[in-house]
Structure 1
Amino acid sequence: MHPISALITGGIAGILFTVLFTWINKIALCDDVLGVYYFTAFVVLGVVLLQVFSAAHL
């Protein structure tokens, strides 16, 4: 991946993560001071999506 493309992809991912993290925090109303549960859920979702999309190329 070209460095400029990587920068754009990282920027989009960062914005998307921040928006979704804030949105889920407001909806769930869980008293999670550190935000560990939501972060772990995003990581698991990312791994699952990575496996799904990488398997499509095989």
Structure 2
Amino acid sequence: MSVGYVLAIDQGTTGSTVLIFDRDDQIKGRAYSEFTQHYPKPGWVEHDAQEIWLVTV
């Protein structure tokens, strides 16, 4: 029988969180990486999609 895992990615406002679960729903791994927030105008926030991709994969 193969072990099997599920990879979950939570793309939040300030960073990416990744969790790996086994077949028993136990967390086997966790990682978090922040990405830059850009403020082009007062009250606005933007993110660079390329940077999000790079910190997530």
Q: Specify the structure having the higher radius of gyration (Cα).
A: 2
- Higher share of residues assigned helix: 1
> Under TM normalisation by the shorter chain, which class is it?
under 0.3
TM-score relative to the length of structure 2: 0.27
- Higher share of residues assigned strand: 2
